[in-house]
Chains A and B, each alone.
Chain A
Amino acid sequence: MDFTYDDEQVALRDAVKGLVGKAYADFETRRNAVAEDPGFDETLWSRMAEMGLLGLPFAEADGGVGAGPVEIGIVCRELGRVVAPEPYLASVVLAGGLVAACGTPEQRWPVLGALSAGDSVLAFAHDEPGRRWGPTATAVSAIDSDGSWTLSGVKEPVLHGAHADVLVVSAALPDGGTGLFLVSGDDAERTGYAAYDGTRAARISFDGTTATPLGAAGQDVTASIATVQDITRVMAANQALGAMQTALSNTTDYLKSRKQFGVTLNTFQALTFRAADMYVSQELTHSMVEWATMVVAQGDAEALADAASRVALQVSRSGRHIGQEAIQLHGGIGMTAEYAVGTYVAHLTMLDHLFGDGGFQLSRLAASVTEHGALDPLA
């Protein structure tokens, strides 16, 4: 058992920090990046491609680099540290992950190759109005007319859906189950908007829209979607951890510098104790995130589902605790858009609601709580 990065992983972390951390060293730069469409810095995205970050999870045969979950987690952690708005989680980890898991070799090479090269952005169109989290689709249905497939229905919100070149769309299959389809972004009707943290999302409607089955036509891939969602949950947890670390360090810096009643805020024990509790939350989360990332690396889908729920529950609880306290300890300035901390809290809230919040995860865990004795992370 080992919780440390090897030399190559340390080098990767430093390189990503050097690129992304430098690009967004100033919060104003980040504000400018999300102010206009596509809501992120396309030059930085290209540099990330050049560095091989966009192809990190994919096999070399598919145009990728063939790295593991620890490496992907490192990238997500560094992106989270600066609340980078680039669509890494949505495009590479989630949509790209689905293509890698379900696509045929003939599909994987062009789609993932272009994604890895920074020439194409992918989006996973899955969430449907009025439904909560899960791996299945109902509101968008797929019709098969003699091998020619079309989709109808509405997906919303779709992260980075308006800008994406390729949409990976989940749809209810004619014979039951949920299938995945590739749709060219331009073939769907799209309305884009910004979420509260600046992340881009869209409403996408399909009306007899031509679609290509991803993998074998008509195949129910619910289990694959669930697994890729679980992996993405763990990577979102890495990203959230990075955001929590910055939210806390910004808060401690502020407590040391801000004066009230003639003294700096860290003179007041009521405040420093709350910062200490934030640190406890952060460290417990850190441990869970490292553990869940290692569970992904083991490749057991059942263990992964459990670990994803557990880390998501922890991240939900800690993210809210650290985020809410970070604003409170900053006082009024924490409410302003030009100051970073509020955006960190908004981003943590967004990550919390992508794939199932704390209550949702707890409900899943509670359902099976009588089926085991004591939990053993080393079993």
Chain B
Amino acid sequence: MQLELSEEDQAFRQEMRDFFTTQVSEEIRTAVTEGRELTKDQLVESMRTLNEAGLAVPHWPEEYGGRGWSDLKRHLWFEEMQRAGVPTPLAFNASMIGPVLAQFGSEEQKLEFLPKTANLDIWWAQGFSEPDAGSDLASVRTTAVLDGDDWVVNGQKTWTTLGQHADWIFTLVRTDPEVKKQAGISLLLIDMATPGVEVRPIELIDGGHEVNEVWFEDVRVPGDHLVGELNSGWTIAKFLLGNERVGVAPVGATKRSLAYAKELAADLIADDPLLRARVAELENELLALELTALRVAAHSAGGEPHPASSVLKLKGSVLQQAVSELVVDLAGPGSLASGAGDDSDLDGWARRATPTYLNLRKASIYGGSNEVQRQIISRTILGL
């Protein structure tokens, strides 16, 4: 048992801190810190800056750009990135399809897609959820039927995050309707520019355009864009979702939000004992979460996600939401002014507080809802 980082890890942490705070554009980092929406160009620029330094996909296998870091180093990399306000690498690319292609893809697919995925030359979207297949992902109905060498895809995906920016979509499709529902699914890579693909925006409660419906009508996909074995989509999806859960406890970003809120509303907090207590309680819960993330990182073995990673997802989303709720309350009546422009007399953070709060309601729904996480904990860990 030892609290201090080793000298090597301390130096690594400092190296990360120096890089993130000096090499990624200050304009982008300020936008992140202030909770402003980033443009596609900003997200691409930031990820390319990281990739150029070998910092976009360090968790991938080394032959595809990974760094072979310990789990602790990865944790420090991720925390320092969030602390500095650097946008984390696009999850669809870095945490989802990249590791999947490295693990299950053909040599041709790896060569073709992995470098472009790491550099965000291709912007990926996730085509998993459907209107009747949210948490019950195995119920997907979008079909892919072989016609000559091509797959012909028909169906509808939903909740496709940032699909309006996407170049390609990795898509769960039903390739065998006759077998048990988990056994008849495959993963297909689809170029969004293919005729028959249509993206329709979904308006959300925060007023932004973040998710979409994606419709497929007789979309022809080359046969070699199937990933892994035919009908192995469920196995691949489970691998992907396991990785996803590990990366969705945004401790660093939530800490940064809370520290920023304290700074902005310092006078208010100083004068109000109840607010001070709320902040102190959240800080303590975040500390417990961060220490748990460190404990999980220190105990992860063999690339398998630690079972307690469900704790991180569950508690991480709850705290992320709780901090955003505190910020709305700190903004008070100013939080109503979400539609005001820059000539408003109200502070920008106060005007953005409620859209952020409303937007973050998603955190306990996506990536396996918190009810799904409770199911995983009670079944897998507690054996109930």
Contacts and interface: CB of A to CB of B under 8 A. Distances in A.
Contacts of A70: 1
Interface in B261-310: 262-263, 266, 269-270, 273, 276-277, 279-281, 283-292, 294-295, 298-299, 308
Interface residues of chain A: helix, strand, loop or mixed (majority)? helix
A9 B1 contact: yes
Given A291-B3, A294-B1, A362-B277, A4 B287 contact: no
Contacts of B157: none
B296 to A, nearest CB: 9
A310 interface: yes
B213 to A, nearest CB: 30
A275 interface: yes
A378 to B, nearest CB: 6
Given A283-B308, A370-B270, A297 B3 contact: yes
Contact of A295 (B3, B5, B373, B374): B3
B148 interface: no
B277 A363 contact: yes
Given A9-B1, A369-B279, A377 B284 contact: no
Given A266-B384, A370-B262, A373-B259, A294 B292 contact: no
A284 B295 CA distance: 10
Contacts of B341: none
Contacts of B1: 2-6, 9, 70, 290, 293-294, 297
B276 A294 contact: no
B6 interface: yes
B276 A4 contact: no
B280 A369 contact: yes
Interface in B301-330: 308, 311, 314-315
A370 B291 contact: no
B378 A276 contact: yes
Contacts of A294: 1-3
A293 B295 CA distance: 14
Contacts of B311: 279-280, 283-284
A279 B377 contact: yes
B7 to A, nearest CB: 12
Contact of B283 (A272, A287, A291, A375): A375
A313 interface: yes
A104 interface: no
Contacts of B381: 279
A7 to B, nearest CB: 13
Given A2-B1, A366-B280, 12 more contacts: A1-B4, A1-B5, A2-B298, A269-B375, A276-B375, A279-B382, A310-B284, A362-B281, A369-B276, A370-B269, A373-B262, A378-B13
6 tightest A-B contacts by CB? A287-B291, A272-B378, A294-B3, A374-B259, A276-B374, A276-B377
Interface of B: 1-6, 9, 13, 72, 83, 255-256, 258-259, 262-263, 266, 269-270, 273, 276-277, 279-281, 283-292, 294-295, 298-299, 308, 311, 314-315, 371, 373-375, 377-379, 381-384
Interface of A: 1-6, 9, 70, 252, 255-256, 266, 269, 272-273, 275-277, 279-280, 283-288, 290-291, 293-295, 297-298, 310, 313-314, 362-363, 365-367, 369-370, 373-375, 377-378
